[in-house]
């Protein structure tokens, strides 16, 4: 089955710096790669996703890149703000009408003012 | 409010008891999921139902039994609760052939 590894487990940056979180997946059949943000005590919420036919996707300060050959994908957050502090999860799945998301182990991002 | 809702938000109970968690979505989605998030924040799928039919059943003890009375509801019943069942349980839903899963607020289960 699919296995997703995520690094780093914690990441501390200064406000305004960039943050990068990396994930690798094992199943080459996976074709959908979402990123979820979970604030303390809250539910995970989708912030950006990418499908396997796209190499990069950007939405304002966040971007995701995918390297299918190497089976890894990354989340990039630019101009970080204190409200970006949260746990970020990557996930992988293949969508055949329904999904089985396999999540990474999470990255706790702390943005200091 | 259109959303995924869960009840209760908190559940504290003794080992050996039986408890249920309820989930409802009014998004018109066809597929619903249960996830378990343990104390280390690992988020793992347990079950998924599509139009009331079980489609994903991960390696979960058979003390856990999901029930979907209709496609807007997915409940989770847990028998003979154990200390290791303590976790946050999230319900989620998605529309068939769409990617995004919408999560409920979670139920924090504490087994004493």
Q: How far apart, in Å, are the Cα atoms of A61 and each of A78, A112, B47, B75?
A: 5, 17, 34, 38
pLDDT in tens, B3-59: 999 999 999 999 999 999 999 999 999 999 999 999 999 999 999 998 888 888 887
Nearest CB among A38, A101, A102 relative to B101 is that of: A101
Say whether pLDDT at A16 is over 70. Answer: yes
A-facing residues of B in 1-30 (CB < 8 A) are none
Residue of A nearest to B30 (CA): A98
**DSSP per-residue string spanning A59-106:** ETTEEEEEETTTTEEEEEE-S--GGG-EEEEEEEB--SSS---EE---
Instruction: Give the SS3 label for residue A109.
Output: strand
Closest of A13, A2, A1, A28 to residue A88, by C-alpha: A13
CA–CA distance, A112 with A84 (Å, rounded to integer): 10
Closest of B90, B86, B89 to residue B111, by C-alpha: B86
Q: Residue B56 has what pLDDT?
A: 84
Q: How many residues does chain A have?
A: 113
Instruction: Decide if A34 touches B, using CB distance below 8 A.
Output: yes
Instruction: Give the SS3 label for residue B84.
Output: helix
pLDDT in tens, A70-84: 999 999 999 999 999
Q: How far is A57 from chain B (nearest CA, A)?
A: 15
pLDDT in tens, B77-89: 999 999 999 999 9
Closest of B69, B96, B7, B44 to residue A98, by C-alpha: B96
pLDDT in tens, A57-110: 999 999 999 999 999 999 999 999 999 999 999 999 976 666 789 999 999 999
pLDDT in tens, A17-62: 999 999 999 998 899 999 999 999 999 999 999 998 889 999 999 9
Q: Residue B2 has what pLDDT?
A: 64
Q: Residue B57 has what pLDDT?
A: 83
Say whether pLDDT at A10 is over 70. Answer: yes
């Amino acid at each position: 089955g699919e296995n997703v590894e995520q690094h780093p487990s914690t990441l501390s940056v200064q406000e305004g710096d960039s943050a990068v979180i990396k994930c690798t997946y094992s199943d080459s059949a996976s074709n959908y790669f979402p990123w979820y943000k979970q604030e303390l005590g809250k539910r995970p919420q989708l912030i950006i996703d990418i499908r396997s036919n796209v190499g990069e996707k950007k939405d304002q300060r966040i971007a995701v890149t995918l390297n299918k050959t190497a089976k890894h994908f990354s989340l990039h957050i630019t101009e970080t703000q204190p409200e970006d502090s949260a746990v970020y999860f990557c996930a992988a799945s293949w969508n055949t009408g329904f999904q089985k998301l396999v999540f990474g182990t999470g990255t706790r991002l702390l943005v200091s003012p | 409010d259109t959303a995924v809702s869960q009840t209760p938000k908190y559940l504290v109970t003794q080992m050996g008891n039986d408890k249920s968690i309820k989930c409802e979505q009014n998004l018109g989605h066809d597929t619903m999921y249960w996830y378990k998030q343990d104390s280390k924040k690992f988020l793992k799928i347990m079950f998924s139902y599509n139009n009331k039919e079980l489609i994903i059943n991960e390696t979960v003890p058979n003390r856990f039994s999901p029930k979907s009375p209709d496609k807007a509801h997915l409940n989770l019943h847990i028998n003979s609760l154990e200390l290791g069942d303590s976790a946050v349980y999230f319900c989620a839903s998605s529309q068939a052939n769409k990617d995004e899963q919408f999560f409920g607020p979670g139920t924090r289960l504490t087994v004493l």
